[in-house]
């Protein structure tokens, strides 16, 4: 159980990011994202500007809605390019790695196994969505091969492949980091729970609470670094998913809309990506406060003013800190945020469908 060293644990943290672990802290991730999430979207943006936008028709409400959808695609592509160029600072990733290694999770072999197991399950589901998305994009382009031409279709398929791979890389990276943060908070919560179950000397309890406060601070600081690293991407991901799917669902209300099973599979893969990301983000937020009840119960066993003071500081720190990832640094992504977003989306869908097809 006490077999691994901090260096080997750092290796565990750096594994699973698609790129080799020895290059993940270098310039390789930035170069990969510049190509897949900046250059390729810029190429697609140029294609839309030349071959699609000039032919938009704003004569009717339905055709205007179609043109707005195209404008939305162009806007999202532009934001993706800006996100990589100005909103993705890998220095936060280096700070995250240096901070999370201070938690000494490596002494718990079960925690390392949990990291590897959860990382693998996330990657398998993301690979499935990646393959399905590529297949759908390819089929969609191949059906228009007569209008677009063979060479143009091949170039667009490769462009879509690299853009989707960039998305897969970022989602996998976020989920990996979330798994490590979840294990860190879980380990702290387990040690808090152990305080209420065992009888220790006051001196050892004082030192244990002080040590737990240090570890909790490291876990929170690690989460803050991760949040700053992925803030722009997470915000753009949620905006893109809900705006695209709101408009796609509204299209289904149209009287002449043909329902294609492949299209539903594509929407399902997008939703699965959202669920994987949201589950990991929300779980970090939930675990950051899970130890509150155990700390409160532990206070009943205390008979020392110093212990009361330490425990009260820890309770206040955990209760008042809204730990987790945010939407544009405005809202913490938690259960309430997701519920509000779904409610708002449903309202917009019904309003737009009533306006367009009434």
298 and 192 in contact (C-beta within 8 Å)?
yes
Residue 50 lies in a domain: yes
**Do residues 230 and 172 lie in contact, with contact meaning Cβ atoms separated by under 8 Å?**
no
The answer to whether position 271 is within a domain reads: yes
Assign 326 to helix, strand or coil: strand
**Residue range(s) defining the domain that contains residue 250:** 17-357
Q: Please report, for residues 24, 29, 84, 160, the alpha-carbon distance to residue 36 in angstroms, rounded to integers and kept in the order given.
A: 16, 10, 10, 9
Residue 123 DSSP SS3: helix
CA 278 to chain centre: 6
Report in angstroms the alpha-carbon separations of 24 from 80, 102, 108, 293, 357. 21, 19, 25, 38, 50
> Does the residue 7 lie in any domain?
no
Is the model's pTM score more than 0.85? yes
* Position 211 in a domain: yes
Q: Is residue 210 part of a domain?
A: yes
Residue 126 main-chain phi, psi, to 5 deg: -70, -35
Asked if the structure places residue 352 within a domain, the reply is yes
Look at residues 294, 72, 278, 123 and name the one whose alpha carbon lies nearest to residue 194. Answer: 294
User: Do residues 225 and 99 touch, judged by C-beta distance below 8 A?
Assistant: yes
Q: DSSP state, 133?
A: H
Output the tens digit of pLDDT for each of the chain's 358 residues: 444 444 455 677 888 888 888 888 889 999 999 999 999 999 999 999 998 898 888 888 778 888 988 999 999 999 999 999 998 999 999 999 999 988 877 677 888 889 999 999 999 999 999 999 999 889 888 888 888 888 999 999 999 999 999 999 999 999 999 999 999 999 999 999 888 776 555 556 778 888 999 999 999 999 999 999 999 999 999 999 999 888 888 877 766 666 667 777 888 889 999 999 999 999 999 999 999 999 988 888 877 788 888 889 999 989 888 899 999 999 999 988 888 988 988 898 888 878 777 6
Alpha helices per DSSP H over 143-252: 145-148, 150-197, 202-252
Angstrom distance (rounded) from CA 308 to CA 321: 20
In a domain, 207, yes or no: yes
Number of separate domains in the chain? 1
181/85 Cα distance (integer angstroms): 27
Q: With 0-12 CB in 10 A as exposed, 13-18 as middle and 19+ as buried, what is 43?
A: middle
HSE at residue 112, side-chain half, CA atoms within 13 A, is 21
**Is 11 a domain residue?**
no
- What are 331's strand-pairing partners? 327
């Amino acid at each position: 159980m006490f077999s691994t060293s901090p260096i080997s644990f750092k290796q565990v943290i750096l594994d699973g990011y698609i790129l080799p672990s020895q290059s993940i802290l270098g310039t390789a991730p930035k170069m990969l994202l510049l190509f897949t999430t900046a250059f390729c979207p810029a190429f697609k943006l140029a294609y839309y500007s030349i071959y699609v936008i000039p032919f938009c028709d704003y004569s009717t409400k339905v055709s205007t809605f179609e043109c707005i959808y195209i404008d939305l695609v162009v806007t999202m592509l532009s934001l993706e390019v800006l996100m990589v160029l100005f909103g993705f600072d890998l220095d936060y990733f280096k700070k995250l790695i240096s901070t999370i290694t201070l938690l000494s999770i490596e002494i718990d072999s079960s925690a390392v196994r949990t990291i590897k197991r959860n990382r693998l399950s996330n990657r398998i589901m993301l690979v499935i969505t990646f393959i399905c998305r590529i297949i759908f994009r390819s089929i969609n382009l191949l059906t228009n091969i007569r209008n677009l031409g063979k060479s143009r279709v091949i170039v667009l398929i490769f462009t879509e492949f690299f853009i989707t791979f960039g998305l897969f890389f970022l989602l996998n990276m976020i989920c990996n980091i979330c798994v490590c943060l979840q294990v860190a908070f879980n380990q702290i919560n387990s040690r808090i729970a152990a305080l209420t179950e065992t009888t220790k000397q006051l001196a050892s309890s004082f030192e244990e609470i002080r040590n737990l406060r240090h570890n909790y601070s490291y876990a929170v600081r690690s989460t803050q670094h991760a949040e700053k690293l992925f803030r722009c991407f997470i915000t753009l991901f949620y905006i893109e998913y809900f705006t695209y799917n709101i408009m796609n669902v509204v299209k289904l209300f149209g009287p002449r809309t043909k329902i294609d099973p492949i299209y539903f599979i594509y929407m399902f893969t997008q939703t699965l990506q959202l669920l994987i990301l949201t589950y990991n983000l929300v779980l970090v937020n939930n675990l950051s406060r899970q130890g509150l009840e155990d700390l409160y119960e532990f206070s009943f066993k205390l008979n020392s003013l110093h212990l009361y003071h330490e425990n009260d500081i820890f309770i206040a720190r955990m209760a008042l800190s809204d730990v987790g990832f945010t939407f544009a640094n405005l809202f913490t992504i938690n259960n309430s945020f997701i519920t509000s977003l779904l409610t708002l989306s449903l309202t917009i869908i019904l309003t737009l469908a009533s306006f367009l097809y009434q």
